[in-house]
Amino acid sequence: MRGGRARRRRSGRTSCAAALAAVLAAVAPAVASPLADAVTLCAAADRAPLAEKRALLERGLDAAERAVAADDGDARAHFAIVCNLGKRMRIDGMSVASLRSLGRLRREIDRTLALDPNHADALVAKAALLYYTPRLFGGDPVEGERLLRTALVVAPRYCDARLELGRVLEARGERDGARAALRRALVDAERAANADVAAEARRLLTRLGG
């Protein structure tokens, strides 16, 4: 009887150990992946104090570059460069170095879209780049808005893109269209528990009179 219980305990421990090993085997590659690191660091920079943001983005950019070196055909890896480089450029502001980085940012966005034409994040990134960059440096507001609307066809509940469309329409004086876009952005942001987008949509709606 005691021997049977001992065997069952040993069997239980063995099955638990096997299950744990299987979980660790599945998780470890993702944790160690340069792509996963690049994505995690880019997101972490949003929550970090200003003094720490640039260091996180430098690490994220390094990880993204390693991910691209490992697989140049991975659209996600190229967009990880876009994510980290773009946020670093915002911190650095306008400079000769940022103008050089702008060319690289464009190339990485274009490479992402060449590999995955329906990459919603890359569509929004290119839309913002074209819309907000002065024409002297290659900006094209009309094409930027077109890409923004394309992103919303690909991902209709993409609240960040819908929020950006609201801003574009407000800037053009289309207040009714802006309000409609912002209301939809608010609904989608609340559904996705995206507090930042929801708060900004509310702020802009208040400015537009709801």
The pLDDT tens digits for 95-119 are 656 677 888 999 999 999 999 999 9
| Average pLDDT of adjacent 10-residue blocks, the chain of 210 residues | 48 45 40 85 92 95 97 97 93 71 93 97 94 86 95 96 95 95 97 95 94
Q: Can you spell out the DSSP letters for 53-68?
A: HHHHHHHHHHHHHHHH
The span from the CA of 186 to the CA of 165, in Å, is: 13
Predicted local confidence at residue 100, as pLDDT: 79
Predicted local confidence at residue 134, as pLDDT: 85
End-to-end CA distance of the chain: 75
**Exposure class string for 168-180: b at 16+ Cβ within 10 A, else e:** bbbeeeeeeebbe
Predicted local confidence at residue 12, as pLDDT: 45
Predicted local confidence at residue 94, as pLDDT: 64
- Residue 19 backbone dihedrals phi, psi, to 5 degrees: -65, -45
How many other CB atoms are found less than 10 A from the CB of residue 145?
18
The span from the CA of 107 to the CA of 121, in Å, is: 15
The span from the CA of 42 to the CA of 22, in Å, is: 29
Q: How far is CA 209 from the centre of its chain?
A: 30
Structure tokens, 147? 């890409």
pTM of the model as a whole = 0.79
Spatial CA neighbour of 41 closest among 98, 91, 102, 85: 85
The span from the CA of 125 to the CA of 105, in Å, is: 10
Predicted local confidence at residue 32, as pLDDT: 53
The span from the CA of 9 to the CA of 6, in Å, is: 5
